[in-house]
A = this chain, B = another copy of it.
Amino acid sequence: MNIQTFPTNPKAIRDLIRNGEVDKSTAGMAPGYVQANLVIVHKDLAFEFLLFCNRNPKPCPVLEVTEVGSYEPVILAPGSDLRYDIPKYRVYRHGELEAEVTDIAEYWTSDMVAFLTGCSFGFETALIRAGIPLRHIETETTVPMFITNIPTNSAGSFSGPMVVSMRPIKKDQVVRSVQVTSRFPSVHGAPVQIGNPKEIGIEDINKPDLGEPIEVKSDEVPVFWACGVTPQAVAMNSKPDLMITHAPGYMFITDAIDEEYSVL
């Protein structure tokens, strides 16, 4: 499809996705609108997972939870369908990645609950507006993500390490990047680590566990934010019977405005 005609309206983009016409990361799409991570579990795990999110608001800031059996997030995107409106999904069984699929119609059952949690794409728009360039967006690659040694706060059967995303920030813009992202606790908020990857268990900054590597230049510092992929690391660790998520970088695009989720 011609890039110049690619829509910027969330619903129009979701329609393209539903029709199978989008097969890339949603980074940079629908600028100014909230994008969300997806986690789906059966009802019997819903309380534990919601509690897990509440105990880990930096990696898992809850934006919406659907009614049991409903695939429509009525607050963030009325009329949408979480079974089809994400370009790529992951299906985990007993902690193992079983499949990557472009829709989850065959997996959906009436006892499922869907969780949408905040995604760093939200604060990225604010960073760019504040004059802080983000190279993975300029180069159209997926942000590098690392499984850290920071434990999450467990809830019932859910436990595991926090996943972080890394952005190289110019040394004289680090303070500003903390200020800007602090305004958005619903999309991971302030960084969890600045400048010292080894302290959080990252041995090689050039070898992310997910996403693509990005060079940290000599006038830059690696800055780490809690990442919405954390539930997938938790799924691998906690082995629930079934957990369906988005594929990293392939998010759910909502109708909500980023700035509505700022605290100041």
Contact = CB atoms under 8 A, between A and B. Distances in A.
Nearest to A156: B67
Interface in A110-165: 153, 156
A182 B54 contact: no
Contact of A263 (B62, B75, B153, B185): B185
A179 B75 CA distance: 27
A60 to B, nearest CB: 11
B51 A182 contact: no
A46 interface: yes
Nearest to A184: B263
A65 interface: yes
Number of copies: 2
Contacts of A216: none
Nearest to A65: B51
Contact of A65 (B46, B54, B264): B54
Contacts of A179: 264
A6 interface: no
Interface residues of A, number: 19
Nearest to A53: B54
Contact of A51 (B50, B75, B264): B50
Contacts of A62: 54
Contacts of A46: 47
A220 B75 CA distance: 36
Interface string A46-87: 110011001100000010010100000001000000000000
A228 interface: no
Nearest to A115: B54
A249 interface: no
Contacts of A208: none
Contacts of A263: 182-183, 185, 189, 263-264
Contact of A264 (B47, B156, B264): B264
Contact of A50 (B50, B153, B156, B183): B50
Interface string A238-264: 000000000000000000000000011
15 contacts: A46-B47, A47-B47, A50-B50, A50-B51, A54-B54, A54-B62, A54-B65, A55-B65, A182-B263, A183-B263, A185-B263, A189-B263, A263-B263, A263-B264, A264-B264
